[in-house]
A and B are shown apart, each in its own frame.
Chain A
């Protein structure tokens, strides 16, 4: 190993070791294994944790767990299956719980994607790569980290495969289509948007090379042939999931794929997605300057790192022309995609004063990473579920019949976390709660079954023939008026940090229930669970 290699190795260990520490390490509270999921702050994270756990227990991802699809045993799994399988497999080999496993895998592969981008930029210029790396810190800065802690697991894993595809476009391989086909199939089976981004990138890349006369006719022919074979392989490998995707996501939510509807300002505000200025001016200005510099470089050298970064920058802005949330999702990975532009500007500046070894860019890169972390980074520990709530979840799973219907009265974080409970859980509408309590003994309250309802409880009748239980049984989604006395168990939070008046209402309702044919089955400091001994009978007065 020569001196430059040693410097680069030490540089990479410091940069990526630090990223591991401030990113997954911090979100995990510097502990690999937990008694309860602490990494997630939103419903998507809990959903994928629940599905990974289901795959680990059930052994496959043919169907959705019955408790998440209104009790149907044969409602097929419609989420892209790969990540849940990887997380389940890793859970067995590492000994981690499925929820720790999926979060670790997510964090690890995002870092690996950053490393791949580093190596891709390095193919353009090693010093630019080193000076790009400090921007990776923003992966763990608000609001970019939301993609991680809100549990955009499929997006993050799909983006990893996308970055790997960018990398492979830079490689001269004899059978290029084989790894490319596998990676395209991986995006299809992880997060299908990234498949579309890849083909967009491939067209963009070849188009720019053609326009700038950096692509000969025979080279174009080679790429088209390789892409054709890769696509064929990807379709074969993804055959089953593509059929499910077409009959699920495409048929049910296809409009959102085919109609261009720009994001309204209200929607823009409601979704916590990073705007460009979340990079802050000291980073944003060099990025903008780097984009301009890249335009000059591309004329002579259409490097995949520059083209891919430019393309993903544009994808992140397509919310203005109607790509809606898919555009925003790409922004969570902007610290990886846009890093090269920052590096290009810093390299151009540094070159004016230093043209020697890589030691100086390495030191500058580490110092800048330290400055950014110090200025903009704040540790994030979602830890939504309280210990007492988790104990109640476990009690429900271990002490109630499998098909029990459970009603969760208001509880902090329940709108996000209760989908982890392996029972048919329901939540009350907090907005309807006050009306309900003043109209007792009226038994009707707006309640929502916490189900994966978006694909209408899709089920398979044949290889290409699908049905939808939602339509067949005329089931309504969302909060609907239900009989409060029709549940087997009631989970009552007695205290709340965010809505103490709702917790008080819980206690009031809990007392009414216990006084009418119900028994207190379990309680801890915060949560009480009440058993209904006369389901459907009088329970309120």
Chain B
């Protein structure tokens, strides 16, 4: 239960992080529309942050350390996975939707098994 509470707390931090990232991107790219900003930051979160966080759940490091390792590893997992999936004939158009889902599910399974 303590773990679940910790998870909730960390998800709250991730949500706050998303808002901060969106504001930072909004300021840096101030000539863009709100929908472009939100879609771009959501893309970052969906492709790297959430799956990276899920993959790192089974580790005992601190939140930020896990996030750093998770996001970095997820960038590698996505790039490699997308490359081989493309070679096998799966068009890259749907990789950004599907591959993060696979990482999230894998992360949750590893976490639950722990």
Contact = CB atoms under 8 A, between A and B. Distances in A.
A31 B31 contact: yes
Contacts of B90: 59
A33 B87 contact: no
Interface in B71-104: 71-73, 75-80, 82-84, 86-87, 89-97, 99
The interface centre, meaning the residue of B29, B31, B76, B78 with most chain A CB atoms within 10 A of its CB, is B76
Given A25-B28, A31-B31, A55-B86, A92 B93 contact: yes
Contact of A168 (B31, B37, B43, B69): B69
22 contacts: A16-B24, A30-B28, A30-B32, A32-B29, A32-B32, A33-B32, A59-B92, A60-B83, A61-B83, A81-B79, A85-B83, A85-B86, A86-B82, A89-B92, A90-B47, A94-B39, A161-B72, A161-B76, A164-B68, A167-B69, A168-B69, A240-B87
A56 interface: yes
A392 B72 CA distance: 40
B80 A20 contact: no
B7 interface: no
Contacts of A32: 25, 29, 32, 36-37, 40
B15 interface: no
A93 B75 contact: no
Which are the 3 A-B pairs with shortest beta-carbon distances?
A: A60-B86, A25-B28, A82-B79
B68 A185 contact: no
Contact of B32 (A21, A31, A89): A31
A61 B80 CA distance: 12
A304 to B, nearest CB: 13
Interface string B14-25: 000000100011
B94 to A, nearest CB: 8
Nearest to A163: B72
A56 B80 contact: no
Given A171-B69, A183-B76, 5 more contacts: A30-B28, A60-B92, A93-B39, A104-B40, A116-B68
The interface centre, meaning the residue of B28, B30, B31 with most chain A CB atoms within 10 A of its CB, is B28
Interface string A92-110: 1111100000001000110
Contacts, number: 162
Interface string A422-456: 00000000000000000000000000000000000
Interface residues of A, number: 57
A88 interface: yes
Interface of B: 20, 24-25, 27-32, 36-37, 39-40, 42-44, 46-47, 59, 61, 64-65, 68-69, 71-73, 75-80, 82-84, 86-87, 89-97, 99
A82 B83 contact: yes
Given A88-B92, A89-B82, A112-B71, A60 B27 contact: no
A95 B36 CA distance: 8
B40 A94 contact: yes
A28 B29 contact: yes
Interface in A19-37: 20-21, 24-25, 28-33
Contact of B24 (A17, A28, A29, A173): A17
Nearest to B31: A31
Interface string A59-84: 11110000000000000000001110
A93 B99 CA distance: 12
Nearest to A190: B79
Contact of A17 (B27, B40, B73, B95): B27
Interface of A: 13, 16-17, 20-21, 24-25, 28-33, 55-56, 59-62, 81-83, 85-86, 88-90, 92-96, 104, 108-109, 112, 115-116, 119, 160-161, 164, 167-168, 171, 173, 179, 182-183, 185-186, 189-190, 237-238, 240-241
B109 to A, nearest CB: 15
B95 A89 contact: yes
A13 B28 CA distance: 13
A25 B29 contact: yes
Given A21-B28, A83-B79, A90-B96, A60 B91 contact: yes
B29 A31 contact: yes
Contact of B28 (A24, A92, A171): A24
Contacts of A83: 79
The interface centre, meaning the residue of B20, B79, B87 with most chain A CB atoms within 10 A of its CB, is B79
B61 A186 contact: no
Nearest to B70: A179
Contacts of B87: 60-62, 240
B83 A189 contact: yes
Contacts of B28: 17, 20-21, 24-25, 30
Contacts of A190: 79
Contact of A92 (B61, B64, B75, B92): B92
Given A186-B80, A189-B83, A179 B37 contact: no
A115 B40 CA distance: 20
B107 to A, nearest CB: 12
A89 B90 CA distance: 12
B78 A86 contact: yes
A241 B95 CA distance: 20
A59 B86 contact: yes
A92 B94 CA distance: 8
A185 B80 CA distance: 8
Contacts of B39: 93-95
Contacts of B32: 30-33
B97 to A, nearest CB: 7
Contacts of B86: 55, 59-62, 85
A109 to B, nearest CB: 7
Nearest to B84: A240
Contacts of A238: 80
A491 to B, nearest CB: 31
